[in-house]
Chains A and B, each alone.
Chain A
């Protein structure tokens, strides 16, 4: 049976604005994975390393962070700060000998864009290949 990963998506207000306006049915119709949960932030700069680690503690198989393009952030540095925090989590995963690909940062144009759906689909495929999170203690 195919593995269905638990994906936690952290995205800023601006990159997710149009995606959320679609509503759950609209997003599903566009191909947004049903196993991905959106956690909306006022800005990528508000993202905390501890929130990303907590997602893994609570059972996420992977975490996807979506922010504005680095030079187009509404709050100037927010998405760059988010990217640095994602790198910190990648490093921590490596230290724990867990695949750093389980967390990824994507810089997208603001507003609804098919890329918002596409990157979550990409993440879904990658996590299906990687299998369940080693933190769950399940057989891989």
Chain B
């Protein structure tokens, strides 16, 4: 899922300083699962914005609502039901949601309530860790299912580097050396030779270095 975390409240209050009516809009997708922008977080942020405004001696009307997703036009169109009742939208979705609202609603001001941090999973309750960099050219079939792009601090394609000590990364003791894990896993399956293959220099255009990426499925377009 896409992992996000709420921005500091003061930053958000500053964004909407000129708005008397604010629509705080959550998303039931990824940000709901990682507890950054679902219904519960909308309730809390609405309260915090009201408190922030109260502290500045201002009154604000804050509506809290949550869409099924903010990355599909049909769901973003549901914002029509609050038309005329807000001066600004604070989106608690990932950056995709904020962009979609900006794309689809040229006359609405939209502000981000979260920082979109990574693609990851829940390592344990309350902890999320990055697992994928979305680089557009997966090498997981060669690396035992473990991603060196996202999980090696240097995104090495031929690790480990000289800084790996007893399976730990040199940037921090808490960070496992993913290349150590990759070697151990491939050894377990007797597939060390996968790493001996000479690979061409990586083409990073698929990772966004070639401009914004777009996926088109002819079988689905209408």
Contact = CB atoms under 8 A, between A and B. Distances in A.
B117 interface: no
Interface stretch (B44-52, B66-74, B201-209): B44-52
Contact of A54 (B13, B47, B52, B55): B47
A134 B55 contact: yes
B213 to A, nearest CB: 35
A135 B51 CA distance: 6
B9 A92 contact: yes
Given A134-B55, A135-B54, A96 B48 contact: yes
Q: Which of B8, B43, B50, B51 has the most CB of A within 10 A?
A: B51
Contacts of B48: 53, 92, 95-96
Interface residues of B, number: 15
Contacts of A46: none
A134 B43 CA distance: 21
A96 B47 contact: no
A22 interface: no
Contacts of B129: none
B9 A135 contact: no
A54 B13 CA distance: 17
Nearest to B43: A50
B65 to A, nearest CB: 15
Interface string A38-63: 00000000000110011011000000
Interface in A89-121: 92, 95-98
Given A50-B43, A50-B47, A57 B10 contact: no
A53 B44 contact: yes
Secondary structure class of chain A's binding surface, majority of residues: helix
A95 B51 contact: no
A136 interface: yes
A23 interface: no
A53 B10 contact: no
A95 B47 contact: no
A53 B9 CA distance: 13
B39 to A, nearest CB: 11
Nearest to B59: A137
B57 interface: yes
Contact of B52 (A50, A96, A137): A96
Interface string B103-121: 0000000000000000000
Nearest to B9: A95
Nearest to A56: B51
Contacts of A53: 44, 47-48, 51
A68 B163 CA distance: 48
Contacts of B13: 96
A57 B55 contact: no
A57 B43 contact: no
Contact of A96 (B9, B40, B43, B57): B9
Contacts of B50: 57
Interface of B: 8-10, 13, 40, 43-44, 47-48, 50-52, 54-55, 57
Given A54-B47, A56-B51, A96-B52, 5 more contacts: A57-B51, A92-B9, A96-B13, A97-B10, A134-B55
